[in-house]
Structure formats: structure tokens, C-alpha cells
Structure 1
Amino acid sequence: MIDKIQNVSSLSLSNGIDEVGSTNSSVLAGGIATTPGQNTGMDFGSVMANMATDTMNSLKGAESMSFKAIQGKANTREVVDAVLEAQQSLQTAMALRDKIVSAYLEVTKMQI
């Protein structure tokens, strides 16, 4: 998770600002030139799949660390850190799921 935050912090908006100071909408952070309406990144399904994969990996890591602790290969602090990280990931995924379901229900209530 920290690696992802570090990747975001390495992006800069300086490439999207021309000499006058106004933003250039055809250049995204990171210097990628695009045209309006062009798909510039991952789609929603890919983002959700990556989030689900990261959550599952976090849960598997916590489980693995628990087994290591039972075998005497990991200390209590490592287990607690892994379990808390997995708990936070799971809570985030559940909150996002609840928001998506709520938004879906709102859309289904709209009149055509």
C-alpha cells in the first residue's frame, strides 16, 4: 500500500502547465499526451479487480503470518501488524461494496 502512495507522489503536474500558467488539458500528470474523450487509464472493472486482489493478498498474508507465529517463526508484533492491515483492507472493501450497492439501488429507483 505504501508503494502505491509513493507512486502517486512521484507524479507531477508541472508537465501539464504551460509557460503562461494555465493548464494544458491535453497533457496528463506524468507527461502522457491525450485527446479529449480518449481512454486514459484502467477501467472501473480493472480497478475493482485490483482492489479485490490486493485485499485477498492482504488476508492471505495475515493468515500466513499467523501460521508462522504458531510454528514459532514470527513474533507477535508481526502477526498483529499483518492482521490489522488485513482488517483495514477488508473494512475498506466492505465500505466500497456498500457504496456501490447503494448507488446501484439509487439508479434502479430512477424513473426513465
Structure 2
Amino acid sequence: MSIGALDAAGAYGRAAGLAPVTTRPGGVADTGASGEAGGFGQMVQSMVEQTAGNLHAAETASSKQVAGKGDLIDVVTAMGAAEMALDTVVAVRDKVVGAYSEIMRMQI
């Protein structure tokens, strides 16, 4: 199954709580945001911040469990959320690097 770049950006935008990415006539991407907010860079920054928060929460839950003050279920849940967030950021990074490589291979 192949996911288009706009579909992926729209999905990550919705997951991050940002404006959805739609396509205007002519295939031009429209993030739904007017000039005051973000776009793709803001979405990536938000994803990285959320991922850092998830990783910190997982680390905190893990250290509480080691100290005997936490619940194992909380640790597993936090680790799962952190792993999923990190996998999402890595997938976005891979798509961006792939798109950049494709652009660099284009003939002028």
C-alpha cells in the first residue's frame, strides 16, 4: 500500500491537532492555515515536542517503577506511547529525506 505525501502530512497534521492538509484545484497543497500559523515546519516541531514529552513520561514511569512506587501497567502504557510517537517521527523523517533525495535526482 502506497501512501501519498499529502495523505501522510494530513494524517500527521490531524494527529498533532493542526489544520488538515487538503488539495486545492491544480494539486496545490493547502494546509488550511492562514499565514499566522505553522504549516509543515510547525507540525514537525509539534510532533518532536510531543515525542519528547512522551519519552520523558515513559522515563519517569520507569524510574517510579524501579523505585517501587509505580505500577507496571503505567510503565508499559507509557513505553508503548513513546515508541509509537518515536516511530511516527522517524517515518516522517524518512519520507522527508526520501522526498529530498528525489528532488535532488531531478534533471533541470
TM-score interval for Structure 1 and Structure 2 normalised by the shorter chain: 0.5 to 0.7
2:58 equivalent in structure 1: 62
Identify unmatched segments of 5+ residues in structure 2: 1-13, 19-31
TM-score w.r.t. length of structure 2: 0.66
The structure whose residues are more often strand, as a share, is 2
1:37-76 per-position Cα deviation (integer Å, ceiling 9, x unaligned): x537422211111111111110111001000101111111
Percentage of matched positions with identical amino acids: 35
79, 86, 96: which is aligned to 2:82?
86
Aligned length: 81
Identify unmatched segments of 5+ residues in structure 1: 9-28
Q: Find the structure with the greater CA-based Rg.
A: 1
TM-score w.r.t. length of structure 1: 0.64
2:48 equivalent in structure 1: 52
Structure scoring higher RCO (CA < 8 A, sep ≥ 6) equals 2
